[in-house]
Structure 1
Amino acid sequence: MADRKPIETWLTDMDGVLIHEGVPIPGADAFIQRLRESGKPFLVLTNNSIYTQRDLHARLARMGLDVPAEHIWTSALATAKFLDDQRPGGTAYVIGEAGLTTAMHDVGYVLTDTAPDFVVLGETRTYSFEAMTKAVRLINDGARFIATNPDETGPSAEGALPATGAVAALITKATGVEPYFVGKPNPLMMRAGLNAIGAHSEHSAMIGDRMDTDIVSGMEAGMSTFLVLTGLTQASEVERFPYRPTQVVDSIADLVELI
Structure 2
Amino acid sequence: MTTAFDDHPIHSWLTDMDGVLVHEQAALPGAADFIAALQQYGRPFLVLTNNSVFTPRDLRARLSRSGIDIPEDSIWTSALATARFLAEQAPGSSAYVIGEAGLTSAMHEEGFILADSDVEFVVLGETRTYSFEAITRAIRLVKGGAKFIATNPDVTGPSAEGPLPATGAVAAMITAATGIHPYYIGKPNPLMMRTALNRIGAHSETSVMIGDRMDTDVKSGLEAGMRSVLVLSGSTREEEIAQYPFRPTTVLDGIADVVPLVERLTPLESVELDED
TM-score w.r.t. length of structure 2 = 0.93
Please state if 1:79 is matched with 2:82. Answer: yes
SS at 1:120's partner residue?
A: strand
Please state if 1:62 is matched with 2:60. Answer: no
Question: CA separation in 2, counterparts of 1:159 and 1:238?
Answer: 25
SS at 1:227's partner residue?
A: strand
Please state if 1:139 is matched with 2:135. Answer: no
One-letter amino acid of the structure 1 residue matched with residue 81 of structure 2: A
One-letter amino acid of the structure 1 residue matched with residue 77 of structure 2: T
Match of 1:184 among 183, 187, 190: 187
Please state if 1:223 is matched with 2:226. Answer: yes
Question: CA separation in 1, counterparts of 2:103 and 2:10?
Answer: 31
1:208 paired residue number: 211
Aligned length: 259
Question: CA separation in 1, counterparts of 2:237 and 2:204?
Answer: 26
Question: CA separation in 1, counterparts of 2:7 and 2:61?
Answer: 35
Shift of 1:245: 0.2
Please state if 1:112 is matched with 2:126. Answer: no
Question: CA separation in 2, counterparts of 1:53 and 1:4?
Answer: 33
1:172 paired residue number: 175
Question: CA separation in 1, counterparts of 2:212 and 2:86?
Answer: 28
Per-residue CA deviations over 1:158-212 (Å, capped at 9, x if unaligned) read 0000000000000000111100000000000000000011100000000000000
Question: CA separation in 1, counterparts of 2:107 and 2:5?
Answer: 42
SS at 2:168's partner residue?
A: helix
Match of 1:98 among 98, 101, 110: 101
Identity over the aligned pairs, expressed in percent?
Answer: 66
Match of 2:49 among 46, 62, 67: 46
SS at 1:113's partner residue?
A: coil
Question: CA separation in 2, counterparts of 1:236 and 1:114?
Answer: 49
Change in CA separation of 1:229 and 1:2 when aligned onto 2, cut-off 3 Å: closer
One-letter amino acid of the structure 2 residue matched with residue 232 of structure 1: S
Match of 2:245 among 237, 242, 248: 242
One-letter amino acid of the structure 1 residue matched with residue 49 of structure 2: T
Question: CA separation in 1, counterparts of 2:15 and 2:191?
Answer: 15
Question: CA separation in 2, counterparts of 1:64 and 1:249?
Answer: 22
Question: CA separation in 1, counterparts of 2:249 and 2:7?
Answer: 10
Q: CA RMSD in A?
A: 0.7
Shift of 1:3: 5.9
Q: Is the 8 A contact 2:5 2:227 kept in 1?
A: no
Question: CA separation in 1, counterparts of 2:188 and 2:108?
Answer: 25
Question: CA separation in 1, counterparts of 2:41 and 2:90?
Answer: 37
Question: CA separation in 2, counterparts of 1:186 and 1:144?
Answer: 18
- Of 2-11 and 20-29, more deviation after overlay is shown by 2-11
Shift of 1:4: 2.6
Question: CA separation in 1, counterparts of 2:84 and 2:7?
Answer: 29
One-letter amino acid of the structure 1 residue matched with residue 34 of structure 2: F
Question: CA separation in 1, counterparts of 2:240 and 2:183?
Answer: 28
Question: CA separation in 2, counterparts of 1:120 and 1:182?
Answer: 11
Per-residue CA deviations over 1:2-35 (Å, capped at 9, x if unaligned) read 6631111000000000001111100001001111
Match of 1:4 among 4, 7, 12: 7
1:20-39 equivalence runs, <5 A: 20-39=23-42
Listed as ranges, the gaps of 5+ residues in structure 2 are 263-276
